[in-house]
Amino acid sequence: MSDSIKHECGLALLRLRKPLAYYEDKYGTPAYGFARTSLLMEKQHNRGQDGAGMACVGLDVPPGRPFYSMEKSCSAMPLADLLERISNQLNAYSVNHSARTTCTCDLERPFCGEVYLGHVRYGTFGTRSLDACHPMVCDSPRRDHTLLAAGNFNLTNTADVFNTLVKLGYHPRGLQDCRILLICLAHYLGECHGDLLEAVRQSASQWDGGFVIGGVVGNGDAFAFRDAHGIRPAFYYMDDEVVALASERVALQTAFDLSSQEVTELPGGHLLQIPAHGEVTVRPCLPPAPPRHCVFERIYFSRGNDADIQQERRALGRAVVPQVLKAIDDDIEHTVFSYIPNTAQCSFHGMLDALDEHRDGRRLRFGMVAVKDAKFRTFITDGNHREELFPHVYDVTYGLVRPHEDNLVVIDDSIVRGNTMRRAILPILARLGPKRIVIVSAAPQIRYPDCYGIDMASFGELVAFQACMDLLAARGMTECFDHAVQTARQELAGPVEAMHNQAAALYGLFGEDELTEAIRQRLLPEAFPAELKLVFLPLDQLRLCIPNHTGDWYFTGDYPTPGGFRVVNQALSDYANHLSKRAY
């Protein structure tokens, strides 16, 4: 993807179901649980590069010894740093206790317990600090009152939950949603006398948002649960040796050498409960709600080596081909096809499949034209130099395009802000001298902010909304914007359940093609030497390509929870305030 957008997080939960000595005998290491959890986290590192953390809980730890170990990192490469530090602890213990051969579970040996909770973090709305890294702990001298939790989530009503906790007598140190959520869970765990299902039911019923939460009670009870709509993803696997949960199916497949069919999706609104002593259960914990699984997980965030995601992304590439052929006047012989690295590669392959069916013996030319310098941003520290060097984040492959003769078609996952496209990609593609450049988005126009964990929180950041505002201004229709803002503010003063998406009416004033042209004008660099065309995947095609993930509020404005409509109306009001301040 050309634009950098961040996803909330990735989660890994692992419970060993046999005595630790079993794993040492069978696998030759007492750190089998750590090794599997590390692999689950590594295979989800795409979900979080701002922080990483891991906790390990031992079941039968005698009093006088710590019953859990935890490490976190927010270094430049947090996951690598975290795993190295824990490995060093394990190695140091092995050297100092080489004569000891019996594996115990008292956590004298670091990170050698029965329950592991791992997390990789993207700092969507927070600072890069250890305090913001998961797992987080609500500590107590009593094991059954101690709670460790981590999650992939974002709540829309954190302030409401905060106020509820204050009324209950708590004094939270801030509005950090994970800390608020942890206190809420711990409170109801005490209120429900350790009944985990009832504690989750009472606490999570107050939350509005998308979430997958994993946790461990100090006594060794482990659990994970998912929001009722299933907005954020969660998958699990269990056999007689382990129970494991992760944010992505393919991470479990890799860690335990599984087929796709051996991994199960945790249903929305369900609790996976792994008691310290007892049977594993999966039970409903929230009232049923229509599934609204996040479609951006399939388009961009989740790894493309999952079997279903691979096919879905290829289907997206196939679906845009009719528009692509129209944009190049069906001139395949004078067109080079390429993609923006790296996640658009799957949709690119699907596009090639469909083009091959239409070429009628004509030669199909393709290659990697845009090349991303993955290390580039890490060494640009001075602000002025960063601005000057920004266009060179990408490089191009010379010799594939015949100057002034060929079209160049480049497919991307989606277009969110458009800054990188306008300032970096298009200028450097123009160096190749194509007569026409066609930018293809394998997703529809992203029109609305997200509130469930993806960094799309501001209308001012969305090129589609900026294009809509351009059309309103050009046609003397700014009073429509003023009316939408006024209505949004009126609704914000009322109950959240009565709110509607007031920005939707603004988009409804214009046709799809009109908005696409306005976006094209926004993306077009000054004095651009080539003709520029823009293609977006039609929304109806998205639903055909990814039928089981209907969480498409980025494109439709149809939010699955009341808090989503509050967020979009607040974003509209904030944008109007920004315009007023800028005008002043």
Give the contacts of 58 (CB within 8 A, at least 6 positions apart).
Answer: 67, 68, 105, 106, 107, 112, 113, 114, 115, 220
Give pLDDT, residue 457: 63
The dihedral over CA atoms of 508, 504, 422, 417, expressed in degrees to the nearest 10, equals -170
Q: Are 157 and 563 in contact (CB under 8 A)?
A: yes
Q: Given the structure tokens 């494109």, which residue do they identify?
A: 555
Give pLDDT, residue 329: 97
What is the per-residue pLDDT across 502-520, written as a single tens digit (0 to 9) for each? 999 999 999 999 999 999 9
Q: How confident is the model at residue 580 (pLDDT cuts 50, 70, 90)?
A: confident
Give pLDDT, residue 383: 44
Identify the top-confidence range among 86-95, 126-135, 416-425, 484-493. 484-493
Q: Please provide the DSSP assignment of 68-132 as one string.
A: EEEEEE-SSSHHHHHHHHHHHHHHHHHHHTTT-----SSSSSTT-SSEEEEEEE--SSS-SSGGG
Least Cα distance to 453 among 560, 333, 347 occurs for 560
Give pLDDT, residue 127: 59
CA-to-CA distance for 444 and 422, rounded, in angstroms? 18
What is the per-residue pLDDT across 200-227, written as a single tens digit (0 to 9) for each? 999 999 999 999 999 999 999 999 999 9
Q: How far is CA 471 from the centre of its chain?
A: 32
What is the per-residue pLDDT across 229-261, written as a single tens digit (0 to 9) for each? 999 999 999 999 999 999 999 999 999 999 999
The residue extents of the domains of the chain are 9-291, 299-583
Judge if 9-291 and 299-583 fold alike in CATH terms.
no
What is the per-residue pLDDT across 257-299, written as a single tens digit (0 to 9) for each? 999 999 999 999 999 999 998 899 999 999 999 999 999 999 9
Sheet holding 9-16, edge to edge: 68-73, 51-57, 115-121, 9-16, 242-246, 235-238, 264-265
CA-to-CA distance for 483 and 481, rounded, in angstroms? 5
CATH (residue range 299-583): 3.40.50.2020
CA-to-CA distance for 535 and 120, rounded, in angstroms? 34
What is the per-residue pLDDT across 76-123, written as a single tens digit (0 to 9) for each? 899 999 999 999 998 887 767 654 444 444 567 889 999 999 999 876
For 231, 265, 302, 552, the CA distances from 548, given in Å and listed in that order, are 12, 13, 15, 11
Query: CATH fold of 9-291, please?
Result: Glutamine Phosphoribosylpyrophosphate, subunit 1, domain 1 (3.60.20)
